[in-house]
Chain A
Amino acid sequence: MAGIYNMAYAELICQSNFTFLRGASSPEELVTTAAFLNYSAIAITDECSVAGVVRAHSEIKRHRLPISLIVGSFFCFQDDFCFVLLCPNKAAYAELCRIITQARRRSPKGEYKLAEWDLIAIKHCQIVWLPGPENEKNSHWGQWLYRHHPKRTWLGATRFLNNLDTVRFNAIHHLHRVHHFPVLATTHALFHHTSRLPLQHVLHAMQENTSVDQLGSAVLANAERALRNISKIKKLFPQQWIDNTQKLASQCEFSLDELKYQYPAELVPPGLTAIEHLRNCVEKGIKKRFPNGLSDEIRAVIEKEMTLIEEQDYPYFFLTIHDIVQFAQKKKILYQGRGSAANSVVCYCLEITAVDPRQINVLFERFISKERDEPPDIDVDFEHSRREEIIQYIYAKYGRERTALAATVITFRFKSAFREVGKALGLPESQLDFVIKNINRRDRTVPWQSQLSACGLDTRSTKVCQLVALVEEVVGFPRHLSQHVGGFVISAGPLYELVPVENAAMAERTVIQWDKDDLESLGLLKVDILALGMLTAIRRTFDLLNTQFPEPLSIPFITRLGDDPQVYDMICKADTVGVFQIESRAQMSMLPRLKPRTYYDLVVQIAIVRPGPIQGDMVHPYLLRRHGKENVTYPSEEVQNVLSRTMGVPIFQEQVIQLAMVAAGFTGGEADQLRRAMASWKKDGRIYEFRDKLIHGMTNKGYSMAFAEQLFEQIKGFGGYGFPESHSASFAVLAYVSCWLKYYFPTEFYIALLNSLPMGFYSASQLVQDARRHHIHVLAVCINHSDREHTLVCQKGVKAIRLGFKLVNGLSEKAIQRVLQARPAHGFTNMHQLKQLGISEKDLSALASADTLSLLGGNRFQARWAMMDQQASLPLFSNQQSALPLEVAPNDAQDTVEDYASLSLSLKNHPIALVLQERTIKGLTLANQLHNKPHGSVVHVVGCVTCRQAPGTASGATFFTLEDHTGNMNIVVWQSTARHQQKAYLKAQILQVDGILERSTEGVVHVIAGKLTDRSCWFSSLTVSARNFH
């Protein structure tokens, strides 16, 4: 035993790549290597941060590594006092978190500033001091430490094998002699292996914003900051110093597993337990949600769910979300919960979700799995325009000390890695930009490394080889911490005792140092407060309707009405512009194929048009089976149980995980690891660790090898892109509600959509055109009739949309308010009145250009000319009208161009209609005529390009949407066609396509492009907004 003890070494100072741009190895690499080198313990001590410790902790647990993790952090105070704080126990950990929080909160994002008091107040942490080369400063800090922390200070002795080793050693000996601080050996590692030295140099250069060769002697002189093997350590340090590492390590017993989340207690009234209170809330909800009483079946489900919630100790989590949605209800903010636990009957009763359990036969276990022991996931979407009210409510209720956002670790992506590494290697920035812009990352046939030579880089040169290798290494490295879109962590006590909190870039926001995976690893819960534009649109539609009808409309009201065949008829025709989720071009072309007729069909529809199912080749088999063209077979009954609701084809992420459990014998814990590996397989490829287990498990259980391999491929396909059923179920509710509103109250729905922009897939112009195709009158913006927003008006008993001032480009909010405030009851009668309002010339011009002044006389050019007259607004000239009205009038084309420039849409003319007035195109087919053309016929179409999409799943095809005055056309451009006609492919605003019409059996029409001709010159000054390659 003595021999083993002699060998024991603990590395107590390691900075991972969470010390951004300094550490060159991940926490996982550091702990794995340390375990391999037989270290007894390793401390991850990132600079003023514990962002990397959870990853190290998880890695040790995942691989059952025989090594202890010590939590700590490295600090520099006043540039000359560098030390590390290590946590022997939970109190020390809370202390460390508090120190980091204080230091971070004093500084802008990404920096920290310690105060002397922070250090004096240390009561629990152990201090490892790293003396510098200057004796005077060492003497000062030695005395300081001796005065404040004589019993908890250690001297960290380093040997970097550079010319300062002797100086440092002498200093250590001297300080040891004077103060009797024990000395311990340390590598002060920055990377796990010597091969990372170049990467460390490159990161250092990035930090200094220079190139490696310019750094000169500032770079590390050698690779001695890598973890060393113990025999080398024994050569470099006295045995006593090595033994001391073990001595200190053995005092550090704190483990992250000890952290336990304490929920805010104030949610539960005195005298009640959390579960009792939750039960009361649920009972209250039952009365509201089920006014006619509960069926025995649903009661049984509720009881089962409550038992599970109690067993898993989740009542506080449900109560927290319940409290938030109660606030939203009070404030009439529309919301919808989704996620693994959201679609439970309990959540329905707590009014967290509107997914009616009677409508969908959802088994709760599928959402909270006791066996898998994964935390419940509830995301709540709120109206995008009012989410801030919810956030402020949370801050106000729990206080800023107890609330913060989860972090998102921003990592190097290809472009940033290539640019930054290239700069560090001294390549000119313009060349790097050129290469980045020219590399087609969507081209799967040619990897980026092979495309470099085409961009003018000599791939045989050493520098380019280094560039490639270093970029590959740096991709995925953390760059900085950012804030999660809406993941709140709320705790009972001060949050900074659980995890450090730092400032976010956004004012008044604070983030913790862990991201959602870290929180999940430690079993800490976060509440996702997200924003959704469609909820705003739905609420606005309700507002418009509820002024007209006595019975207030709501999401539950619509879902309670059950599946409406007429609404589904509309959906099957893909008449879904503007609705939620099923409005994109890909979704729209799938609708006539899948033909959804029920709510659950919509759940499938939303999940199936995703890269996961598409890449896993699940769409086609599902469609065949749905239409009875292929038999539904199952290799076993257990598989049938999992896949029967989707006809034997795995479509949802949950199904894939369940398959791994039932078919390959994965335990709950393993399945959870698989789920997490799926989410990140592109980043770390960890999923391959499960391949053999999955395939062996399945073949052992009698499944064919082919089935097993197919499942693994499907799992990979789902990686990162799969869609959980639990989310799809909630989205389907909103999709259905928006379709229902579009079908029954289209005018109100379009108004609400237009007022909620920017959101969704379509521009105002496209929505207005779609509305007009549905025979809805749209009235122009008018100085005397418009409001700020688009409004519902009644003209001769017919509902119409009056466009609002908010559509006018360049018109300020202040001017809108002034106009509305000063507008006489019968409207303005002349331009002079407007000029007297004191609004800016720019605003007046914007009003004139948008042709809102036509009622006051003259065309938009004349109005603008009059508005430009600066003298007329002066008191002396107040009664003079503009003396010389300009004799110019816009023609139709000019009017259209002006409309697009000032409103981004035109109600008068469509550019293509105007083009066709001027010229005839032989054999032209308009959008509304395409349906009459036979499959396979040659067609010629012309339209404004409103969308170019090249999805990664489309094997190089680009989908164009062309718009003419009669509708939209879907064009498919194959890669070779695009390659040979690059100019028209990339540049055209107005495009002529000569191609072959293709019609599927379900009636979906596409034009397969043959020849592309750029016709933008026919309407040269037009600017049509398009979504290009989103």
Chain B
Amino acid sequence: MLWLHIHFYQLTLDNLPKVKQRENIVVYDARSNSIVQTSGTAQQAGIEPGMGLAQAASLCETLQVVDYQKQTEMGYLHSLASLVYQCAAEVALSPPAALHIRIDNLTRYYGNLQSVWFAIKSVLQERQVHFHFATAGSPEAAEALANAGTDIFFIDKNTIQKALGQLPVSALSLEPKSLQALFRAGIKQVKQLLNISPTELGKRFNNATLQYVFALRGERHHRLVFYHPPAEFEQTINLPYEEENTQRLLPFIAKTLKDLAVFLRLRNTGLLRITMTLMFRDHVPFSLGIGKASPHFCEHEWLELINLKFETLVIPAPVIAVAVCAAELCETSSDNEDLFNNRTGVFAKQQLIGKLTARLGESQVSKPMWPKDHRLHILSTTSKNADNTCYNDLPGIILPEPAQLNESPVIEFGPVRIETGWWDEKKYKRDYYIARNHRGQRMQIFKESDQWFINGWYI
């Protein structure tokens, strides 16, 4: 057997826009307080993976930091797996950022092993990701060689054994405890480790270490769980920084659409609708549906549509993540069918609202909600997460704009002084009263520049 191991050592960085990659940028893992990926320019400034943030920051004044998110990297890894899956069937994920690929059984399709490698490499190069790789008789040995940055496509067994033997034991994926034990017994090269008899090892190390050494020697084979492409397409892009310009989201979305195109092509399906959810730090996420009359899979067309949608889109806050979901798949051959036949019943409420929004515009559709805020004019905004408590002392109808009151009101209660909102620039200070007009209607009023205004009516 021959296994290829590919380690993508800077997946988060590779998924940033190209312009960003040329800047002093690092990926930082807060849990271990260490830099895990560095751009070329950051490396030139002396920043290396493993450093703490403070040290890195002091080495480079213009350092930009992107948070490492395991989940996001897993997403990228899945998309790479789906790419490689086009070339090879037995692909296994090696989290957080590597793939095991069995290649010896592919020669019958490609003619020789070099052609296999060429095919896989082309796919990855097109995707412009950085990686280390190596081949060996077992996934573990290939992984050790790749981790050491070997970057050689070995075919000959003896060469593989020789290269493996020369590796430092630190390149092995052993538990830190075992690694430390080996190191402090003077065993620093893999060759030394492989020369120790299993009996001697067995007296000193646990079963997992022993099994790993067997696997390195190619004497035991790991049972891998192979990658299977998912039935639905859903990908979330966690942006490395907050973005308020929707146009700048397009490069990120384009990458995902490419994956989507691959996804559709492999299934020979088209797509009627993409649901895109923009997520914000402090605001509720909002989804927008982009649909087409006939199914499409070409990423450029979808990107164009999204671009058009974005031109008019006003976002309430910078976006931190975008989720792209393609749920409405359909056969590309069914061109003549009326897609909406017998389907009205399945539209969920959300879809209906989505369509209304698309047709009427967002400002025209809203849900009344009670806000968690003292400011009464915020009452009329739509807020999915607002609580539904009813405040008896608040008016049932709030006017879109306060109306002038042209009579002397009879004040029943007040003032209720609201002085708040300094944090979001909607600061105001106002005294509200409950009053009754000559027709006996109760209203909420306030006074500004010697003029009474009606804020709302009680019902």
- Decide if A and B are genuine partners: yes
List residues of chain A with CB under 8 Å of any chain B CB: 161-163, 165-166, 194, 197-198, 201, 211-214, 216-219, 221-224, 425-426, 428, 430, 433-434, 437-438, 454, 456, 462-463, 466, 845, 849, 861, 864-865, 868-872, 883-884, 886, 888-890, 894, 898, 901, 982-983, 986-987
- Beyond the given A214-B282, A982-B58, please list 18 additional residue pairs across the A-B interface where CB-CB is below 8 A: A161-B431, A163-B416, A201-B423, A217-B371, A217-B372, A221-B374, A223-B419, A426-B282, A430-B28, A865-B186, A869-B204, A871-B203, A872-B203, A886-B185, A886-B186, A888-B185, A890-B186, A982-B60
Contact A216 B417 (CB under 8 A): no
Contact A221 B419 (CB under 8 A): yes
Minimum CB–CB distance for A419 against chain B, Å: 14
Complex-state Cα separation, A430 to B413, whole angstroms:
47
* In-complex Cβ contact of A437 among B53, B181, B372 (8 A): B53
Complex-state Cα separation, A463 to B425, whole angstroms:
9
Query: Looking across the interface, which residue of chain B has its beta carbon closest to that of A440?
Result: B58
Interface of B is mostly: mixed
**What residues of A have a CB within 8 angstroms of the CB of B58 in the complex?**
438, 982, 986
The proximity string for B residues 43-75 relative to A, scoring 1 for CB distances below 8 Å and 0 otherwise, is 001100001011101111100110100000000
**What residues of B have a CB within 8 angstroms of the CB of A433 in the complex?**
30, 53
Contact B422 A198 (CB under 8 A): yes
Minimum CB–CB distance for A281 against chain B, Å: 55
Complex-state Cα separation, A88 to B416, whole angstroms:
35
Minimum CB–CB distance for A508 against chain B, Å: 34
Residue with the greatest number of chain A CB neighbours at <10 A, chosen from B46, B60, B204 = B204
The number of residue pairs between A and B whose CB atoms lie closer than 8 Å in the complex comes to 125
The 14 listed contacts between A and B (C-beta, < 8 Å) are A162-B416, A218-B372, A222-B417, A222-B418, A223-B419, A224-B417, A434-B57, A437-B57, A463-B423, A845-B184, A888-B187, A982-B60, A983-B46, A983-B59
* In-complex Cβ contact of B65 among A214, A430, A462 (8 A): A430
Q: A221-B418, A221-B419, A430-B30 are in contact. Are A166 and B185 (CB under 8 A)?
A: no
Residue with the greatest number of chain B CB neighbours at <10 A, chosen from A162, A217, A438, A456 = A217
Is residue B200 within 8 Å, beta carbon to beta carbon, of the partner chain? Answer: yes
Complex-state Cα separation, A982 to B58, whole angstroms:
7
Interface of A is mostly: helix
Minimum CB–CB distance for B176 against chain A, Å: 14
Contact A888 B192 (CB under 8 A): yes
Contact B374 A849 (CB under 8 A): no
Q: A162-B417, A221-B418 are in contact. Are A986 and B59 (CB under 8 A)?
A: yes
The proximity string for B residues 177-213 relative to A, scoring 1 for CB distances below 8 Å and 0 otherwise, is 0000100111100001000110010011000000000
**What residues of B have a CB within 8 angstroms of the CB of A845 in the complex?**
181, 184
Is residue B420 within 8 Å, beta carbon to beta carbon, of the partner chain? Answer: yes
**CB interface residues, B 194-253, toward A, < 8 Å:** 196-197, 200, 203-204
Complex-state Cα separation, A218 to B372, whole angstroms:
8
Complex-state Cα separation, A434 to B66, whole angstroms:
11
Complex-state Cα separation, A466 to B422, whole angstroms:
9
**What residues of A have a CB within 8 angstroms of the CB of B186 in the complex?**
861, 864-865, 886, 888-890, 894
Contact B416 A161 (CB under 8 A): yes
Query: Looking across the interface, which residue of chain B has its beta carbon closest to that of A455?
Result: B57
Contact A425 B420 (CB under 8 A): no
Q: A438-B57, A888-B192, A986-B55 are in contact. Are A216 and B185 (CB under 8 A)?
A: no
**What residues of B have a CB within 8 angstroms of the CB of A890 in the complex?**
186
**CB interface residues, B 406-432, toward A, < 8 Å:** 413, 415-420, 422-425, 429, 431
Minimum CB–CB distance for B377 against chain A, Å: 14
**What residues of B have a CB within 8 angstroms of the CB of A194 in the complex?**
419
Query: Looking across the interface, which residue of chain A has its beta carbon closest to that of B421?
Result: A213
Q: A162-B416, A166-B413, A870-B204 are in contact. Are A212 and B184 (CB under 8 A)?
A: no
Residue with the greatest number of chain B CB neighbours at <10 A, chosen from A212, A884, A983 = A983
Contact B204 A222 (CB under 8 A): no
Contact B197 A213 (CB under 8 A): no
**What residues of B have a CB within 8 angstroms of the CB of A426 in the complex?**
281-282, 423
Residue with the greatest number of chain B CB neighbours at <10 A, chosen from A197, A868, A889, A901 = A868
Is residue B448 within 8 Å, beta carbon to beta carbon, of the partner chain? Answer: no
Contact A221 B53 (CB under 8 A): no
Contact B185 A987 (CB under 8 A): no
Q: A217-B373, A871-B203, A888-B186 are in contact. Are A982 and B46 (CB under 8 A)?
A: yes
Query: Looking across the interface, which residue of chain A has its beta carbon closest to that of B57?
Result: A438
* In-complex Cβ contact of B420 among A222, A466, A869, A872 (8 A): A222
**What residues of A have a CB within 8 angstroms of the CB of B420 in the complex?**
219, 221-222
Q: A221-B418, A434-B65 are in contact. Are A428 and B281 (CB under 8 A)?
A: yes
6 closest A-B pairs (Cβ-Cβ)? A216-B372, A861-B186, A983-B46, A888-B186, A161-B417, A222-B419
Minimum CB–CB distance for A879 against chain B, Å: 15
Is residue B393 within 8 Å, beta carbon to beta carbon, of the partner chain? Answer: yes
* In-complex Cβ contact of A197 among B372, B419, B424 (8 A): B419
Minimum CB–CB distance for A767 against chain B, Å: 26
Contact A161 B53 (CB under 8 A): no
Minimum CB–CB distance for B156 against chain A, Å: 29
**What residues of B have a CB within 8 angstroms of the CB of A868 in the complex?**
181, 185, 203-204
Complex-state Cα separation, A428 to B67, whole angstroms:
11
**What residues of B have a CB within 8 angstroms of the CB of A886 in the complex?**
185-187, 196
Complex-state Cα separation, A456 to B62, whole angstroms:
8
* In-complex Cβ contact of A864 among B54, B57, B184 (8 A): B184
Complex-state Cα separation, A430 to B188, whole angstroms:
38
Q: A213-B423, A216-B371, A983-B59 are in contact. Are A430 and B282 (CB under 8 A)?
A: no
Contact B184 A870 (CB under 8 A): no
Minimum CB–CB distance for B283 against chain A, Å: 10
